[in-house]
Amino acid sequence: MGWSRKSKIVRTFVEHGIYVVTQASSLIGRAAFQAAGWVGVASQRLRAGCPLDLSGWKPELRRWWLTLFVLVFFSAVVARAADEKDANTLFGSAKRSAGALIGILYDFKQNQKRQQTPMDRHIFEQVVAQFIDSGWDEGLLNQYYRVPRALYATELQINTIDADTAPRAFGVEKTVEPRTWLVHYKGQVAAPEDGTYRFLGDADDFVAVAVNDQTELVADIPGTRLKVKWFAKETTELHGRFGGRYMAGDWIDLKAGKPIDLDIITGESPGGQFRCLLLVEKKGVTYAHGEAPAFQLTLTKNSLPDAHAWKGVP
């Protein structure tokens, strides 16, 4: 058989296949549309307490429509589960919960009008350092694009991931490139017990903490130097469940149940990989295996046995 003959056969087969698929898709679409309408009517009748009468339908027709009803219902359940899964990210949940820290993503490559700004990693790090040394003046952040979607976090335990995970978590992966971005978390919290505490941080590229507008911790990765006035007074050998080398913050005297203003920033400078791990240590406590507890507003299955949740103030 010559190649011209084979080509005609192949073309005829492909064209027929396309026709069959197109027709099948059309039939399925019409059936799904009708099923959706029937499901809507059925739902209204059931909510109104009216029974569904299928006695007059042919057995084949009843099976057809009931099958479609089950498929539509199952699809809705799966879609709802997917939405709920997407709502919970490493950077927080899209669902607001009382006492959680609100997290806002800023893209330093754009201004509030979505116009491009002259930005590279060095300028970015200078602006971040200026923000910290200014007493955490949000006016500096508001020069840049503030993503509309907020997330609500009860901990920051983000082990090494791709830097583009943050834009995806905030729903702006198509408009925010995974570099020179910053997330600002803030809220009021209270210590679980009277005592002297300090935050411990390990990050790629950085994490910084302020209590009542006073910088208490700045931890960055070698190569990302935030030239700030704050400096570490002590070192620590403690680590978290992901290991890491932690920077120790300043000791703070706190009272149980007394609210403090807490601000946390973390971000990515050049792109690539990102990490943000925040722990809290209470003075005088000996931690088993040298593992300090994560800073958490809600205890999870990964919490240490002797961990205490801090209280978020709604």
* Residues sharing a CB contact under 8 Å with residue 219, sequence separation 6 or more, in sequence order: 201, 202, 203, 206, 207, 208, 246, 247
Map out the domains of the chain with their CATH numbers: 3-86 (no CATH), 90-313 (2.60.120.380)
What single-letter amino acid sits at 229?
Answer: K
The structure tokens listed for 10 are 């192949």
Give me the pLDDT at residue 81, please: 42
Question: Given this model, what pLDDT does residue 110 score?
Answer: 98
Stated as kind and residue range, the H or E segment containing 6 is: helix 3-47
Is the pLDDT score of 24 beyond 80?
A: no
pLDDT range class, residue 34, cuts 50, 70, 90: low
Q: Are strands 273-282 and 92-93 parallel, antiparallel or unpaired?
A: unpaired
Tokens representing 261 are 């203003």
pLDDT band at 38 (very low <50, low <70, confident <90, very high): low
Reported as a single tens digit per residue, the pLDDT across 43-95 is 555 555 565 555 655 565 556 656 665 565 555 444 444 333 445 789 999 99
Task: State pLDDT tens for residues 146-184.
Answer: 999 999 999 999 999 999 999 999 999 999 999 999 999
User: What pLDDT does residue 50 have?
Assistant: 61
- Tell me: the pLDDT tens digits for 281-294? 999 999 999 999 99
Question: pLDDT (tens digit, 9 = 90+) per residue, 217-261?
Answer: 999 998 778 999 999 999 999 999 998 899 999 999 999 999 999
8 Å CB contact between 277 and 234: no
pTM attached to this predicted model:
0.74
What's the confidence (pLDDT) of residue 49? 59
User: How far does Cα 57 stand from its chain's mean position?
Assistant: 49
Does position 216 have pLDDT exceeding 70, yes or no?
Answer: yes
The lowest-confidence range among 46-55, 184-193, 211-220 is 46-55
- The pLDDT of residue 225 is 83
Region for residue 179 given its phi and psi (left: phi exceeds 0; alpha: psi -120 to 50; beta: otherwise)? beta
